[in-house]
Amino acid sequence: LYFLTRDMRNAKTLDRVEKTLGKIREQGLIPDLRFMDIAEGKWEAFVDEVAKEVEK
């Protein structure tokens, strides 16, 4: 979760976040449901934030 949130804070594009999520899946790490809820909530907030920046 630390690396995911760090990448989301530092990402300039959604590609970087998607790459991190892809690595988690490739490694066979199956996060618990709480992690997925947190990641999904942060992902949606990140997408909203990027959308606002693009609209400016």
What per-residue confidence (pLDDT) applies to 52?
Answer: 79
HEC secondary structure over 1-56: CHHHHHHHHHCCCHHHHHHHHHHHHHCCCCCCHHHHHHHHHHHHHHHHHHHHHHHC
Residue 31: the pLDDT is: 60
Q: What is the pLDDT along the chain (56 residues), one digit of tens a residue?
A: 677 667 767 776 677 777 777 777 777 666 666 666 667 777 777 777 777 777 76
The reported pTM is 0.35
In angstroms, what CA-CA distances link 39 with 15, 43, 49, 56?
A: 16, 6, 15, 26
